[in-house]
Homo-oligomer: A and B are copies of this chain.
Amino acid sequence: MTDRYATFVQSAAGRALVKRLGLPDPPRLRRFTPGDPLLPAPFVLSGDGRLTDRVRRILLATGATMRDTATDPTTGTAEPAGGAADTTAGAADRRRAANGALIYDATGIVDSTQLRQVYDFLHPRARSLASGGRVVVLGTPPEECATPRQATAQRALEGLTRSIGKEFGRGSTAQLVYVTGDADDGTWVSLEATLRFLLSGRSAYVSGQVIRVGSGRATAPTDWHRPLDGQVVLVTGAARGIGAAVAEVLARDGAQVVALDVPAAGDALAAVANRLGGSAVQLDLTAPDAPARLAEHLAGRYGRVDAVVHNAGITRDKTLARMDPDRWDTVLDVNLSSQERINDLLLERELVPAGGRLVAVSSIAGIAGNRGQTNYATSKAGVIGLVQSLAPALREREISVNAVAPGFIETRMTAKMPLALREAGRRMNSLAQGGLPVDVAETIGWLTWPASGAVTGNVVRVCGQSLLGA
């Protein structure tokens, strides 16, 4: 479960060897610890759009420091001949003045010829980004744009941010955030939640993503350090691995956690629940009476469930030719069908109140397909379908539904992979390392916040911008 190569590379001896041999160089990621400042260095914000003022106010209120673009010492046109490293005196100044985040409001762009603005902002600052820094480009959802020209330009931003994610390195990440033009109060709360997630170390292993902030009900917390204060959150598959990490992060952020797992995992489950001061539910989710029993438990104990994290999932890998029917049925039922039955009953009994959040766990395999995983990939593609179809259906009830899609995460499951496959999985992403369960947990956590309610219908990959996709 540990990436010994990454640990070695981050040692003094390792750094020297990696440089000399040109080996993969996984950077140490900036991960979140309560009390951390939002950013390790000032941010620069620019752009000629409708969001600039709003974002400035949001970020200044977090205590982050803004660097003025007019007097920004981090820019410079010095482009050494032959592409050698920039060793001028000005470059040293710029490194000292490293930026924690480069944020561009591109919502003012209505034609592809205006995309040059984003280049003009990023080109002179490309080398100024601090280690673990953040690039965030803000746009308008193409599907909302008034003209094809505007939609085209807004959609083009995706190619730009994904390329930056692959290019800037040193543990930095790049995201595109589309903010609805029909903004309401919920939009601004959820934009703040999203920026607090993306700029902080919570999003350490999230890069190259496109996130949509819509409108609707979203409630800011009294204290952004406890974004889940007083919230009842159910986590399935919580006894170990990613599920246990989710339970832990949610409890840290103030939630009352209802930890659920199969009876066979009862001891591990009890340990998680006790440590977090939550409650434990032993239940086989595929049992015919599971939805009713779960609903009764939640109704009796809490009267509601503010957020549900459908994390329980299994693999039973075989090629389709060699796959017995039981492997198909079990994986589909645990990963998808049981989740549908539970959602339907909790919603039917109105146990998820207005403002509630559902979060499901998909997978890169659900996006790209995978050899030997027809069953798993079908179930995880179905989870994406569930999110995309339930999101509009639940809009009226003000309930959000999103998914995360983990890439290569260091767990007991990946520790069992053959070495070559494991190393390929670890390195074939922009951060050149596998993620940790906590990275998935932090992303799920953000989507369970009441403040994130206007983020719905999203599938957010937690994959270090894996090369794999569709």
Which residues of A approach B to under 8 Å, CB–CB? 79, 83, 111-113, 115-116, 119-120, 122-123, 126-127, 142-143, 145, 147-149, 151-167, 208, 319-325, 328-329, 332-333, 336-337, 340, 365-386, 388-390, 393, 467-470
Which residue of B164, B390, B467 is within 8 Å of A368 (Cβ)?
Answer: B467
What is the bound-complex CA distance between A366 and B159, given in angstroms?
5
Residue of B nearest to A369 (CB): B162
On whether the beta carbons of B162 and A470 are closer than 8 Å, the reply is yes
Can you sample 22 A-B contacts with CB below 8 Å?
A112-B337, A112-B382, A113-B333, A116-B329, A116-B332, A119-B374, A122-B320, A123-B321, A126-B320, A142-B385, A143-B388, A148-B340, A155-B382, A156-B385, A157-B381, A158-B369, A159-B374, A159-B378, A159-B381, A160-B378, A162-B470, A208-B470
Minimum C-beta distance from A71 to chain B (A): 21
A116-B329, A378-B160 given; A323·B371 CB < 8 A: no
A389-B142, A468-B467 given; A336·B156 CB < 8 A: yes
On whether the beta carbons of B83 and A373 are closer than 8 Å, the reply is no
Q: Which residues from chain B contact A367 at a C-beta distance below 8 Å?
A: 469
Q: Which residues from chain B contact A113 at a C-beta distance below 8 Å?
A: 332-333, 337
Q: Shortest 6 CB-CB distances between A and B: which pairs?
A: A469-B469, A155-B385, A162-B369, A159-B381, A156-B382, A151-B389
What is the bound-complex CA distance between A374 and B371, given in angstroms?
31
Q: Which residues from chain B contact A382 at a C-beta distance below 8 Å?
A: 112, 115, 152-153, 155-156, 159
Interface of A is mostly: helix
Minimum C-beta distance from A316 to chain B (A): 12
Residue among A165, A332, A369, A373 with the highest chain B CB neighbour number at 10 A: A369
What is the bound-complex CA distance between A333 and B169, given in angstroms?
28
What is the bound-complex CA distance between A379 and B158, given in angstroms?
10
What is the bound-complex CA distance between A337 and B115, given in angstroms?
10
What is the bound-complex CA distance between A384 and B112, given in angstroms?
13
On whether the beta carbons of A167 and B388 are closer than 8 Å, the reply is no
On whether the beta carbons of A321 and B127 are closer than 8 Å, the reply is yes
On whether the beta carbons of A166 and B116 are closer than 8 Å, the reply is no
On whether the beta carbons of B322 and A384 are closer than 8 Å, the reply is no
Q: Which residues from chain B contact A340 at a C-beta distance below 8 Å?
A: 112, 148-149, 152
Which residue of B163, B324, B378 is within 8 Å of A378 (Cβ)?
Answer: B163
A153-B382, A389-B148 given; A370·B163 CB < 8 A: yes
On whether the beta carbons of A112 and B336 are closer than 8 Å, the reply is yes
What is the bound-complex CA distance between A83 and B320, given in angstroms?
12
What is the bound-complex CA distance between A143 and B126, given in angstroms?
40
A319-B126, A390-B148, A469-B468 given; A163·B374 CB < 8 A: yes
On whether the beta carbons of A385 and B323 are closer than 8 Å, the reply is no
Q: Which residues from chain B contact A386 at a C-beta distance below 8 Å?
A: 148, 152, 155
On whether the beta carbons of B112 and A324 are closer than 8 Å, the reply is no
Which residue of B79, B163, B322 is within 8 Å of A79 (Cβ)?
Answer: B322
Residue of B nearest to A430 (CB): B371
What is the bound-complex CA distance between A219 and B157, given in angstroms?
36
On whether the beta carbons of B164 and A320 are closer than 8 Å, the reply is yes
Known: A113-B333, A162-B381, A467-B468. 14 other contacts (CB 8 A): A79-B324, A111-B337, A115-B332, A115-B378, A119-B325, A123-B328, A148-B340, A148-B386, A155-B385, A159-B369, A159-B378, A163-B365, A165-B369, A368-B467
On whether the beta carbons of A167 and B366 are closer than 8 Å, the reply is no
Minimum C-beta distance from A343 to chain B (A): 9
Q: Which residues from chain B contact A163 at a C-beta distance below 8 Å?
A: 320, 365, 369-371, 373-374, 377-378
Minimum C-beta distance from A418 to chain B (A): 13
What is the bound-complex CA distance between A390 and B142, given in angstroms?
11
What is the bound-complex CA distance between A467 and B120, given in angstroms?
32
Minimum C-beta distance from A428 to chain B (A): 8
On whether the beta carbons of A388 and B160 are closer than 8 Å, the reply is no
Residue among A115, A122, A372 with the highest chain B CB neighbour number at 10 A: A115
On whether the beta carbons of B142 and A381 are closer than 8 Å, the reply is no
Residue of B nearest to A393 (CB): B148
What is the bound-complex CA distance between A389 and B393, given in angstroms?
24
